[in-house]
């Protein structure tokens, strides 16, 4: 099992709002906040992230699926860093 699909997936990393591709293709818009590592998004700095795709489990679809990044949650990222950057 890869790390992106393991039990800790989505619990550590950069907070992003993302849309599940599996739910979108079936007519449901499932947008949620996930945590993703910089490696999963092929980025070096969270401030560089504009878009991206990563693979995580969707509990709604009950499958490992791709997610499209809609936005980086800088408010949560600032909280993680201990305040404004």
SS (H, E, C) 29-77: CCEEEEEECCCCCCCCCHHHCCCCEEEEEECCCCEEEEEEEEEECHHHH
Q: Which tens digits make up the pLDDT trace of 38-85?
A: 999 989 988 888 889 999 888 888 888 999 999 999 898 876 666 544
Tell me the C-alpha distance between 20 and 64, whole Å.
10
Q: Is 0.75 surpassed by the pTM of this model?
A: no
pLDDT digits (tens, 9 = 90+) for 7-45: 555 567 899 999 999 888 777 777 889 999 999 998 998
């Amino acid at each position: 099992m890869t790390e992106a699909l393991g039990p800790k997936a989505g619990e550590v990393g950069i907070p992003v709002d993302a849309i599940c591709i599996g739910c979108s293709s079936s007519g449901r818009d499932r947008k949620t906040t996930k945590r993703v590592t910089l490696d999963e998004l092929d980025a070096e700095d969270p401030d560089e992230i504009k878009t991206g795709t990563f693979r995580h489990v969707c509990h709604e679809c009950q499958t490992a699926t791709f997610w499209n990044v809609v936005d980086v949650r800088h408010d949560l990222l600032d909280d993680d860093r201990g305040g404004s950057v």
